Structure 1
Amino acid sequence: MSVERPSWASSEVDITRPSVARVYDFYLGGSHNFESDRTFGQTVVEAYPALPTVLRQNRAFLRRAVRHLAEVGVDQFLDLGSGIPTVGNVHEVAQAARPDALVVYVDHDPVAVTHSRELVDDRPRTCVLDADFLDVEQVLDLAVREGGMDLDRPVALLAVAVLHFVPDDRGPAETMARYMSALAPGSHLAISHSRSDGEPEAVAGQQLYRQERSLPSMHPRSTAAIAGLFGDLTVVPPGLVPVPCWRPGPADTVDADEATDDHPLLAGMGRRD
């Protein structure tokens, strides 16, 4: 049976196999996903019913982190593995706080890149790079040449729910260190990451990603290993905590109050002094 291809999915997009970006979109209640993504995503949700809530908490962390960075004077944002556009994107939050903020999105999922570009097509000081964020030199070169980023001024590097798809042998900590060493003092790194020492149901859901051959495996890490991703940066209070507990606002207090010690997703921020 043939699968209808919508106009926004180019011919190089394989709609019969799930993709990380589109499955994430499904979890968040988005519309840019296919039957293959929904089928896999539902299987994961059956193993870990709290997952959609956890990922909404993750998006809320991203928004709070961006607002905090804008408040401390950072006006350049480099969003790695940015995914498919959803409500509360980085440019919406950053430019609401600082209209002159520059936002550069980086992804290499064709659907994510296409939709991000459609979203920001007429938006000033916002661009989308089609690149693998593990290629640090290429990303920074494109961020400067195509995005207008000034690496002599502080940059907010966002690695939100993306590094747990990078195996140890690809050097996630080393990759973050290479980015931060190329960025000016005053730059910040925000991370959220799935943990291996979290809720047992969450660990069961993580295993399903390893079994789905068309998706990159998840590589959840221990709390100590996630903390190590910040290298020698100065950790911003409150440190590495469950995502709902990172500087919660009034709308987030219920989630923060209900967060347990084994919450499956940790978040933190570091600053280059």
Structure 2
Amino acid sequence: MSEDISQDSAGFETRARIDTTRPHSARFWNYFIGGKDNYKIDREVGDQIKEIFPGLVDVAVTSRQFLGRAVRYLAGEQGVRQFLDVGTGLPTADNTHEVAQRVAPDARIVYVDNDPIVLTHANALLTSTPEGRTAYLDADLHDPESVLRAAAGTLDFSQPVALMILNTLGHVAEYEEARALVRRLMSGLASGSYLVICDGTATSEPMIAAAAAYKESGAVPYHVRSVEEIAGLFDGLTLVEPGVVRVPQWRPEGGDGGPSDVDAYCGVARKD
């Protein structure tokens, strides 16, 4: 595992922002999906959480599989050529731009995160097909208007955009604030745009216990919500079949693996 994540060309200021003494959600999640961009503390807490709730690994893996299916559906069946991925996390295999540009080489993707670890790996995200474009913004979900203004340098907001918010909204403590942030982002997108969300849910005692243990580890808390609350994030939009379902049950493909009863729900919806 890499222990020199911060030793790159991102500069001293970015390196100074990286705290290796506390677990961090992007690195923690990276460890769960088999990545190498994490520190000892992330792996230690990850192993503790796995003892409490081994199923969290399945949540991480199946959520990544959902990302691929949703992007292929939107780029392929719906012809979407623009993606705004907010809270992208650390790059691994099959990032949004890689999946989209396999289907549509001219696709444009903007990644948004305000995490210093992600910033140091921005170069890995900034690869693109010659026909398309990929950009990274160091910006904050809590300031949607700034996100939209900055993304307008790459995306054409007069045309449909797929807004991707995967395993990110749990960092917003208040549910109504999370709903408001989603609405503010979607308000800047054209008709025919899509919202893609997946998140862990408080659908089992082990999942709730895992979230509590993660908070107690000193990490920034992650709030798991009810299925009804996840569904409420899509209010005012038209859900794509099969609606809000457990992550593996959204348009499954033959190559997907893992259980079907994970504690995470997802959905894709269209702005009419």
1:218 aligns with 2:219: no
Within the candidate set 234, 238, 251, 1:234 is matched to 238
Query: What do you get for the CA RMSD once the two structures are aligned?
Result: 1.8
| Partner Cα distance (1:4, 1:186) in 2 | 43
CA shift, 1:18, in A, is 1.4
Determine the structure 1 residue equivalent to 2:46.
41
| Partner Cα distance (1:24, 1:83) in 2 | 8
| Partner Cα distance (1:5, 1:128) in 2 | 18
Question: 2:135 is paired with a residue of what secondary structure?
Answer: strand
Once the two structures are superposed, the pairs formed by residues 51-66 of structure 1 within 5 Å of their partners are 51-66=56-71
Structure 2 residue identity aligned to 1:155: V
| Partner Cα distance (2:6, 2:189) in 1 | 40
CA shift, 1:35, in A, is 0.8
CA contact under 8 A between 2:59 and 2:200: conserved in structure 1? no
CA contact under 8 A between 1:84 and 1:111: conserved in structure 2? yes
Once the two structures are superposed, the pairs formed by residues 91-130 of structure 1 within 5 Å of their partners are 91-120=97-126, 125-130=133-138
Moved segments of 4+, more than 3 Å: 3-6, 121-124
Question: 2:199 is paired with a residue of what secondary structure?
Answer: strand
Higher deviation after alignment, 87-96 or 42-51? 42-51
Within the candidate set 151, 156, 169, 1:150 is matched to 156
Deviation string 1:208-250 (CA, Å, 9 cap, x unpaired) is 122133x221211111111101121001100010100000011
Determine the structure 2 residue equivalent to 1:178.
184
| Partner Cα distance (1:66, 1:211) in 2 | 35
| TM-score, scaled to structure 2 | 0.91
| Partner Cα distance (2:245, 2:128) in 1 | 37
1:4/1:244 CA distance change after superposition, 3 Å: closer
CA shift, 1:193, in A, is 1.4
Deviation string 1:116-139 (CA, Å, 9 cap, x unpaired) is 334425665001100112210110
Within the candidate set 14, 20, 34, 1:15 is matched to 20
Gaps of 5+ in 1: none
Higher deviation after alignment, 111-120 or 200-209? 111-120
CA shift, 1:170, in A, is 6.8
Determine the structure 2 residue equivalent to 1:265.
264
Question: 2:16 is paired with a residue of what secondary structure?
Answer: coil
CA contact under 8 A between 1:84 and 1:115: conserved in structure 2? yes
CA contact under 8 A between 1:117 and 1:127: conserved in structure 2? no
CA contact under 8 A between 1:240 and 1:267: conserved in structure 2? yes
| Partner Cα distance (2:187, 2:135) in 1 | 23
1:52/1:193 CA distance change after superposition, 3 Å: same
Question: 1:25 is paired with a residue of what secondary structure?
Answer: helix
Q: What is the count of residue pairs matched by the alignment?
A: 262
1:119/1:221 CA distance change after superposition, 3 Å: closer
CA contact under 8 A between 1:242 and 1:267: conserved in structure 2? yes
1:50 aligns with 2:55: yes
| Partner Cα distance (2:271, 2:108) in 1 | 19
Gaps of 5+ in 2: none
